[in-house]
Amino acid sequence: MKRIVRLMLVLAIVAAAMSVAASAVAVSDTTAVSICHVDGTSANFDGSWGFGNSGAHTVSITTNGNAVSGVWTPPVRPPFSGVLVDGCTVRMSFPDDPGVYLGTLVGVCEIQWSFKNSVQTDPNNFWTGDGCEMPLLTITVHKDIVGTPPGDQAFQVRVDCVHDDATVFGETQTISWDAQLGTFSPSDANAVFTPPTRVGGTSDDVTCTVGEIDTAGATSHTISCTEETAPAVCDSTTGAVTIPYDEAGAADITVTNNYLVTPTTPVVPAPAPTPVVAAARFTG
C-alpha cells in the first residue's frame, strides 16, 4: 500500500513538472517572435527613435532575441532595458523612472507607450522612427472683426484634438488688436496650428475643434470654414476638422467677432474770424 501511495506521489510530481515545462515552452514560443507585421509590412524596435513630433531622435534601441536594450544620445538618462512580449510589444523598464511601460509598434514609424504600470495607452507618449516624417493637420485660423472693439484686444484662439476618446493635442495662440493703429498682431491675423495625426491607436478619425476662449467683449462671434484640403473635412456648424489617422491635410477657418458700431461725432470746423476793418482817417 505504501509503495502504491509513493508511486502515485512520484507520478503527480512528474506531471506537475511536465505542466510547468509545457507552460515555459509556450511562453518562450510566444516571446520568440521578433517581427511585427503592421501596415502591410514588417516593423521592429531596432533603430533610432525620437519623441513625438519633435524630430529629435535621441534614443537607440537594439534587440537580441527577446532582450531589448536602449541608450540615450547624448546620455542624458541611464540606459534602459526590457523584454519582448511579442514582435509588436515590449515590456520596458527605465532605471530613473521605476516601473514598467508597455511599448507597442502601431506602425513602421511609431512606438506607442502605455501609462506606467498600466496597459492603458498614454496618447501623449509616443516615439517616432528616425527618417519617418510625421503627418500633420495644418489648421490656419484667421481673425476678423466687425464693428468697433472697446480698445486694445487679445483674442485667445484654441485648438483641441481628440483621437480614440483621448485628447492628443491642445494649444492656445493669441491674436492681438491695436485699437489706435487699427492693426492686428501678427499682421495677417492668422494663428497656425499643426497637430500630428499619427497619435494613439489606428482606429477612428482625428477630430480637432477650433474655438475662442476669450471673445474680448464681442457681442457674438462666428466660425466658418473657408477652405479645406482633402482628406481633411471642415464643419462650420461645429467648428470641427476631421481627418483620418496617419494622414496629412489642411483647413482654413475664419473666426469673426462682432461688436457694436460706435458712432463718430462729425467735427464741425470753427467759423472763420470776422475781419477787423480799421476806421478811415482824413489826411487832406
pLDDT digits (tens, 9 = 90+) for 6-60: 434 333 433 333 333 222 222 233 334 456 877 656 778 988 888 765 545 589 9
Of 181, 194, 113, 111, the closest CA to residue 153 belongs to 181
Do 109 and 197 lie in a common domain?
no
Q: Note whether residue 265 is domain-resident.
A: no
Last residue of a domain, one of 129, 150, 165: 129
Do 145 and 239 lie in a common domain?
yes
Distance CA 161, CA 265 (A): 47
Q: What is the per-residue pLDDT across 187-223, written as a single tens digit (0 to 9) for each?
A: 999 999 999 887 766 668 999 999 988 776 788 889 9
CATH number at residue 66: 2.40.128
Q: What is the per-residue pLDDT across 143-199, written as a single tens digit (0 to 9) for each?
A: 999 988 888 999 999 999 998 888 888 999 999 999 999 999 999 999 999 998 877
CATH number at residue 145: 2.60.40
Beta bridge partners of 120: none
For 122-155, letters b (16+ CB in 10 Å) and e give bbebbbbbeebebbbbbbbbbbebbeebeeebeb
For residue 65, give its domain range.
36-129
Taking CA atoms, 135 is separated from 36, 176, 196, 246, 269, in Å, by 22, 30, 6, 6, 62
- 250 pLDDT band, cuts 50/70/90, is very high
User: In angstroms, how far is the first alpha carbon of the chain from the final one?
Assistant: 173
pTM more than 0.75: no
Do 43 and 60 lie in a common domain?
yes
Structural domains counted in the chain: 2
Last residue of a domain, one of 129, 150, 166: 129
Q: Note whether residue 19 is domain-resident.
A: no
Do 121 and 154 lie in a common domain?
no
